[in-house]
Amino acid sequence: MKNTFATTAKEMILEAGVESVSVRKVADRAGYSLGGTVYNHFDNLDALLWQTRELMIMDVAIYMKEQDQGIINNLNGVKKVFSNFMKYFIKNQYVYRFFYNHSLSHDEKPLTSVVDNPEIRGQFGNAFGFLLEDGGALSVDAWHTEVK
């Protein structure tokens, strides 16, 4: 049931932004007449939105994996990763606004996150691992030269 409400909130955010989400609207759209049903699973709207954010992080990870960026072993590869990341947010502007412009209460933040998943961490680590292999010795000048 929690996932049903979070998925419903995600759909609403994708369509019209986080401003369109309320407990009552989520309950109505999910087929429940009382917003109180949502409160059986979430303490408040922010708790629901934290769960929704987790679903969206998985969506971003799946999208990035589908881009088949290969082994990242130079700064141009990192540029490709960031380019794909930004393409996702250009296609999903409401997700970007929700992630970066909407404040959620940290009191409701889950103790664990999908980003704690080793596969997800590895996916992001792949983009920057080569920088650590040389002890992080890549100079600022080399960065600017290669990124141009």
Look at residue 93 and tell me whether its pLDDT is greater than 60: yes
Look at residue 44 and tell me whether its pLDDT is greater than 90: yes
DSSP string, 14-74: HHH-GGG--HHHHHHHHT-S-THHHHTT-SSHHHHHHHHHHHHHHHHHHHHHHT------S
| Token duo for residue 33 | 């007449």
The predicted-structure confidence for 95-146, as pLDDT tens digits, reads as follows 999 999 999 999 999 988 888 888 877 776 776 676 666 555 554 555 555 5
Superfamily of structural domain 2-147: Tetracycline Repressor, domain 2 (1.10.357.10)
Q: Are 69 and 84 in contact (CB under 8 A)?
A: yes
Looking at the whole model, is its pTM more than 0.85? no
Distance (Å, whole) CA 6 – CA 29: 11
The predicted-structure confidence for 6-30, as pLDDT tens digits, reads as follows 999 999 999 999 999 999 999 999 9
